[in-house]
Amino acid sequence: MKVILFVGLITYCYGASLTDSDKRAVGVCLATQVADNTAKIDKFKNLYASKTIMDAEVKAMKDSLDKQLMAMKASYDKTKTELDALLAKKADKSQVPGKDAFGTGGSTYIAWGWTKCPSISGTKTVYTGWSGGGYYQHQGSGAAYICMADVPEWGSYNNGNQDGALLYQTEYEVSGYGVNGGGIKGQHDREMACAVCIVEKRGFMLMLPGRQTCYSGWKREYGGNLMAAHYSHNHSTEWICVNMNPQRTPIHNNGNQQGSLIYVTEMECTSSVSCGACSGNRIPTAGGCARYVQNREIACSVCTK
């Protein structure tokens, strides 16, 4: 390498030809170039030495991390073995809960007219939503009110107007229909809220029309008004139990959209109630409606067991 460098320096300083008058200048040039290149060589040596040191440091760091990882794995394996042994011990048949510990299963129901499920032990909210149904003057579409999820997910769809089955939000129609309690008057023309509830360990559910309380052995989830579509409308619906203190959906419109409509239910005594096989104190026949009263709005309750 030194020979090659020397030859290169001679060529650089002497050029193609050399006269006697140029010798002193050539000597100065040669000395300067040798000093500069020696400094460059020393710099390269230092850089190489630094790389060697850095490589050694990286290797030492890697070795240390490998040792730490091995120690952590050993600790994990030991803990897992201990937990497996503990779980195996817990799995002894004598410690497995009996079927009674799980109750009788569960049931679900819709809390109509409420933005959440009742605060009752064992009752939880599955989702909240808004009540929907068919248009009040349409004869088709679904007859039952349904509780739509607040946030939809779309499947296959077409944004064009095909007019098949049609779904509308359900509005309270309560102004002028005789019920004042629970703030229901203030909900006129508002969209009805709903919530789907799950009941743990109570596997039976019934909507009890005509009573605010449940029978013995049943737990009352909530009470309310029996409601349905208007008798004169073309679109029939089911009867549902709407919370006595009804609420509107968080996103609602105070205007009268006339979509799916719901009204309180009133008793009409057009014929007497009779039952030849029933005892008189069970279903009295006097008074047209027996124990029910003409033109009186009907209460309801939702019960679980």
62-85 pLDDT per residue, tens: 888 888 888 888 888 888 888 777
Q: Where are the alpha helices (DSSP H) in 15-115?
A: 23-90
Radius of gyration (C-alpha) of the chain in whole angstroms: 44
* Pairwise CA distance, residues 87 & 113, whole Å: 47
Q: Report residue 145 as tokens.
A: 């009110």
pTM of the model: 0.59
Residues of the chain predicted below pLDDT 70: 1-36, 87-104, 178, 180-182, 252-253, 270-290
Per-residue pLDDT, 118: 93
Per-residue pLDDT, 210: 94
3-class secondary structure, 101: helix
